[in-house]
Amino acid sequence: MTELVPRRVIDDVATLKALADPIRMAILELAMAEPARTWTAKEFAGIVGISPTKIYYHLNQLEQHGLIQIRDTRVVNGIIEKQYGTGQLDLTFSRRTEDGGESLRAAVCTQFDITRDEIDRGLAASTMSIEADADETERLLVSRSVASIEQSQIAEFRAELLNLVRKFEKSAGSGSHPFGMLVALHPTRSE
Protein backbone atom coordinates (compact mmCIF):
# COMPACT_ATOMS: atom_id res chain seq x y z
CA MET A 1 0.00 0.00 0.00
CA THR A 2 1.22 3.48 -0.87
CA GLU A 3 2.01 5.54 2.20
CA LEU A 4 -0.91 7.74 3.16
CA VAL A 5 -0.67 11.40 4.01
CA PRO A 6 -1.74 11.70 7.69
CA ARG A 7 -3.45 15.08 7.25
CA ARG A 8 -3.89 16.90 3.98
CA VAL A 9 -4.68 20.60 3.82
CA ILE A 10 -6.88 21.45 0.86
CA ASP A 11 -6.18 24.99 -0.26
CA ASP A 12 -6.51 24.95 -4.03
CA VAL A 13 -9.72 25.84 -5.84
CA ALA A 14 -9.70 22.83 -8.18
CA THR A 15 -9.56 20.30 -5.32
CA LEU A 16 -12.21 22.17 -3.35
CA LYS A 17 -14.46 22.12 -6.41
CA ALA A 18 -13.88 18.37 -6.74
CA LEU A 19 -15.05 18.00 -3.14
CA ALA A 20 -18.16 20.13 -3.70
CA ASP A 21 -20.07 17.12 -4.99
CA PRO A 22 -22.10 14.76 -2.78
CA ILE A 23 -21.18 11.65 -4.76
CA ARG A 24 -17.46 12.36 -4.58
CA MET A 25 -17.75 13.17 -0.87
CA ALA A 26 -19.57 9.87 -0.28
CA ILE A 27 -16.82 7.96 -2.12
CA LEU A 28 -14.12 9.78 -0.18
CA GLU A 29 -15.86 9.18 3.16
CA LEU A 30 -16.08 5.45 2.42
CA ALA A 31 -12.41 5.26 1.44
CA MET A 32 -11.21 7.31 4.42
CA ALA A 33 -13.35 5.33 6.89
CA GLU A 34 -11.34 2.21 6.07
CA PRO A 35 -7.91 3.46 4.98
CA ALA A 36 -6.36 0.00 4.59
CA ARG A 37 -9.18 -1.29 2.40
CA THR A 38 -9.36 -1.16 -1.37
CA TRP A 39 -12.56 -0.64 -3.35
CA THR A 40 -13.57 -1.34 -6.93
CA ALA A 41 -15.63 1.07 -8.98
CA LYS A 42 -18.49 -1.44 -8.84
CA GLU A 43 -18.35 -1.55 -5.02
CA PHE A 44 -18.37 2.24 -4.75
CA ALA A 45 -21.23 2.50 -7.28
CA GLY A 46 -23.35 -0.02 -5.37
CA ILE A 47 -22.98 1.78 -2.07
CA VAL A 48 -23.27 5.32 -3.44
CA GLY A 49 -26.26 4.32 -5.56
CA ILE A 50 -25.23 5.24 -9.10
CA SER A 51 -24.42 3.11 -12.11
CA PRO A 52 -20.87 1.76 -12.45
CA THR A 53 -20.48 3.63 -15.75
CA LYS A 54 -21.21 6.98 -14.05
CA ILE A 55 -18.92 6.35 -11.08
CA TYR A 56 -15.77 6.50 -13.23
CA TYR A 57 -16.12 10.24 -13.79
CA HIS A 58 -16.17 10.83 -10.05
CA LEU A 59 -13.31 8.42 -9.37
CA ASN A 60 -11.20 10.16 -12.02
CA GLN A 61 -11.89 13.55 -10.43
CA LEU A 62 -10.84 12.27 -7.00
CA GLU A 63 -7.78 10.51 -8.40
CA GLN A 64 -6.64 13.60 -10.37
CA HIS A 65 -6.57 15.58 -7.13
CA GLY A 66 -4.81 12.85 -5.13
CA LEU A 67 -7.81 12.28 -2.86
CA ILE A 68 -7.94 8.61 -3.80
CA GLN A 69 -5.24 6.47 -5.35
CA ILE A 70 -5.06 3.32 -7.40
CA ARG A 71 -3.55 0.69 -5.15
CA ASP A 72 -3.76 -2.33 -7.43
CA THR A 73 -5.05 -3.52 -10.78
CA ARG A 74 -6.10 -6.92 -12.03
CA VAL A 75 -7.62 -8.33 -15.19
CA VAL A 76 -11.19 -9.55 -14.82
CA ASN A 77 -12.83 -11.01 -17.95
CA GLY A 78 -10.33 -9.16 -20.12
CA ILE A 79 -11.00 -5.78 -18.47
CA ILE A 80 -8.54 -4.03 -16.17
CA GLU A 81 -10.16 -3.59 -12.76
CA LYS A 82 -8.68 -0.91 -10.54
CA GLN A 83 -8.58 -1.13 -6.74
CA TYR A 84 -8.91 2.30 -5.14
CA GLY A 85 -8.01 3.53 -1.67
CA THR A 86 -7.80 6.84 0.13
CA GLY A 87 -4.84 9.14 -0.31
CA GLN A 88 -4.97 10.61 3.20
CA LEU A 89 -6.23 9.83 6.67
CA ASP A 90 -7.68 13.27 7.39
CA LEU A 91 -8.62 16.42 5.47
CA THR A 92 -8.51 20.03 6.52
CA PHE A 93 -9.76 22.92 4.43
CA SER A 94 -7.75 26.13 4.22
CA ARG A 95 -9.63 29.40 4.19
CA ARG A 96 -7.15 30.95 1.79
CA THR A 97 -8.07 30.33 -1.83
CA GLU A 98 -7.56 32.42 -4.90
CA ASP A 99 -11.30 32.62 -5.63
CA GLY A 100 -12.14 34.57 -2.49
CA GLY A 101 -13.46 31.53 -0.63
CA GLU A 102 -16.23 30.63 -3.09
CA SER A 103 -14.95 27.07 -3.61
CA LEU A 104 -14.53 26.60 0.15
CA ARG A 105 -18.09 27.79 0.67
CA ALA A 106 -19.32 25.26 -1.92
CA ALA A 107 -17.41 22.41 -0.24
CA VAL A 108 -18.79 23.34 3.20
CA CYS A 109 -22.34 23.69 1.84
CA THR A 110 -22.01 20.21 0.31
CA GLN A 111 -21.38 18.85 3.81
CA PHE A 112 -24.58 20.47 5.07
CA ASP A 113 -26.52 19.19 2.05
CA ILE A 114 -25.28 15.61 2.57
CA THR A 115 -26.24 15.72 6.25
CA ARG A 116 -29.67 17.19 5.52
CA ASP A 117 -30.35 14.56 2.82
CA GLU A 118 -29.28 11.68 5.08
CA ILE A 119 -31.55 12.90 7.87
CA ASP A 120 -34.42 13.48 5.45
CA ARG A 121 -34.10 9.93 4.03
CA GLY A 122 -33.86 8.41 7.50
CA LEU A 123 -36.93 10.23 8.78
CA ALA A 124 -38.92 9.44 5.62
CA ALA A 125 -38.00 5.73 5.86
CA SER A 126 -38.57 5.67 9.64
CA THR A 127 -35.03 4.36 10.20
CA MET A 128 -34.35 7.20 12.60
CA SER A 129 -36.38 8.94 15.25
CA ILE A 130 -36.02 12.05 17.36
CA GLU A 131 -38.09 10.53 20.19
CA ALA A 132 -36.33 10.25 23.57
CA ASP A 133 -37.46 6.63 24.01
CA ALA A 134 -36.29 5.50 20.55
CA ASP A 135 -33.72 2.73 20.34
CA GLU A 136 -30.23 4.30 20.61
CA THR A 137 -29.26 2.78 17.24
CA GLU A 138 -32.10 4.77 15.59
CA ARG A 139 -32.14 7.94 17.66
CA LEU A 140 -31.38 11.20 15.89
CA LEU A 141 -29.80 13.99 17.88
CA VAL A 142 -29.96 17.48 16.46
CA SER A 143 -28.88 20.29 18.70
CA ARG A 144 -28.01 23.88 18.03
CA SER A 145 -26.72 26.07 20.77
CA VAL A 146 -24.62 29.12 21.33
CA ALA A 147 -21.86 28.84 23.91
CA SER A 148 -19.87 31.73 25.30
CA ILE A 149 -16.26 30.59 25.45
CA GLU A 150 -13.47 32.62 27.00
CA GLN A 151 -10.87 33.53 24.40
CA SER A 152 -8.21 31.65 26.38
CA GLN A 153 -10.32 28.45 26.18
CA ILE A 154 -11.37 28.46 22.50
CA ALA A 155 -8.41 26.38 21.31
CA GLU A 156 -8.89 23.88 24.16
CA PHE A 157 -12.61 23.56 23.44
CA ARG A 158 -11.98 22.99 19.72
CA ALA A 159 -9.27 20.39 20.42
CA GLU A 160 -11.44 18.47 22.90
CA LEU A 161 -14.39 18.49 20.50
CA LEU A 162 -12.26 17.14 17.65
CA ASN A 163 -10.67 14.53 19.94
CA LEU A 164 -14.11 13.27 20.95
CA VAL A 165 -15.19 12.96 17.31
CA ARG A 166 -11.95 11.18 16.35
CA LYS A 167 -12.21 8.80 19.33
CA PHE A 168 -15.51 7.40 18.10
CA GLU A 169 -14.73 7.84 14.41
CA LYS A 170 -11.86 5.36 14.66
CA SER A 171 -13.28 2.97 17.29
CA ALA A 172 -15.57 0.88 15.08
CA GLY A 173 -15.68 -2.76 16.06
CA SER A 174 -18.07 -5.66 15.85
CA GLY A 175 -21.54 -4.60 16.82
CA SER A 176 -20.86 -0.95 16.02
CA HIS A 177 -23.50 1.20 14.35
CA PRO A 178 -22.47 3.92 11.90
CA PHE A 179 -23.59 7.44 12.77
CA GLY A 180 -23.03 10.51 10.65
CA MET A 181 -21.68 13.56 12.41
CA LEU A 182 -21.41 17.09 11.18
CA VAL A 183 -19.59 19.30 13.63
CA ALA A 184 -19.55 23.03 13.08
CA LEU A 185 -18.00 25.42 15.54
CA HIS A 186 -18.33 28.95 14.26
CA PRO A 187 -18.37 32.46 15.69
CA THR A 188 -21.73 34.22 15.90
CA ARG A 189 -22.52 37.86 16.23
CA SER A 190 -24.56 39.05 19.18
CA GLU A 191 -27.45 41.15 17.96
pLDDT tens digits for 146-187?
A: 888 999 999 999 899 888 887 877 656 667 777 888 888 888
Q: What's the confidence (pLDDT) of residue 106?
A: 86
Rounded Cα–Cα distance for residues 61 and 132 (Å): 42
Q: What's the confidence (pLDDT) of residue 108?
A: 86
User: Are 58 and 80 within 8 A, CB to CB?
Assistant: no
Rounded Cα–Cα distance for residues 122 and 139 (Å): 10
pLDDT at residue 63 is higher than 90: yes
**Residues whose CB is less than 8 angstroms from the CB of residue 174 and which lie 6 or more positions away in sequence, other chains included:** none
pLDDT at residue 115 is higher than 60: yes
Rounded Cα–Cα distance for residues 63 and 33 (Å): 17
Domains delineated in the chain: 1-136 (1.10.10.10)
Banded model confidence at residue 83, pLDDT cuts 50, 70, 90: very high
| % of residues, the chain, pLDDT over 70 | 94
Task: Report pTM.
Answer: 0.76
User: Are 90 and 8 within 8 A, CB to CB?
Assistant: yes
pLDDT at residue 191 is higher than 70: no
Rounded Cα–Cα distance for residues 95 and 102 (Å): 10
User: Are 185 and 158 within 8 A, CB to CB?
Assistant: yes
